[in-house]
C-alpha cells in the first residue's frame, strides 16, 4: 500500500492481516517479549531459593502471556486431557490389548 495503491480497494481480510502484522511486529514485539520472558524466567529460577516455587513464563509475562500463547478452547482442553490420559495409560506394560483407541 505504500507504493500509491488505493487503500479503499483492499479487501477486509488483507486489511486485517496487515493490522495483525503491524501489531505483532511494531506494537506487540511478540518475539522480543517471548525471548526476554524466557531469559528472565531462567534467571529468576536460577537465583530463587530452593524452598520457593518455580517461576513460569506466565508469572513473568502476566497479561501478555495470553497475547503470545492464545488460551485453549474448552474442546482443545478436553482433547489435550484425553491425549494425556491415553499417553499415561499406554506406559503400562502390554496396555494396548486392554483398551481400544479410535484413530
Residue 97 reports pLDDT greater than 80: no
| CA separation, residue 12 to residues 8, 22, 41 (Å) | 10, 15, 39
Enumerate the domain spans of the chain. Answer: 7-98
Average pLDDT, integer, range 59-75: 84
CA 12 to chain centre: 26
Backbone φ and ψ for 10, nearest 5 degrees, come out as: -75, 140
Confidence (pTM): 0.48
Residue 5 reports pLDDT greater than 70: no
Average pLDDT, integer, range 44-51: 91
Quote the mean pLDDT of the chain: 80
Residue 40 cell numbers, joined: 528472565
Amino acid at each position: 500500500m505504500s507504493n500509491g495503491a488505493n487503500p479503499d480497494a483492499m479487501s477486509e481480510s488483507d486489511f486485517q492481516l496487515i493490522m495483525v502484522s503491524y501489531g505483532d511486529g511494531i506494537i506487540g514485539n511478540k518475539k522480543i517479549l517471548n525471548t526476554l520472558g524466557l531469559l528472565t524466567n531462567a534467571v529468576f529460577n536460577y537465583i530463587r531459593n530452593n524452598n520457593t516455587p518455580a517461576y513460569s513464563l506466565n508469572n513473568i509475562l502476566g497479561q501478555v502471556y495470553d497475547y503470545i500463547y492464545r488460551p485453549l478452547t474448552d474442546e482443545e482442553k478436553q482433547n489435550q486431557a484425553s491425549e494425556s490420559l491415553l499417553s499415561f495409560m499406554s506406559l503400562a506394560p502390554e496396555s494396548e490389548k486392554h483398551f481400544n483407541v479410535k484413530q
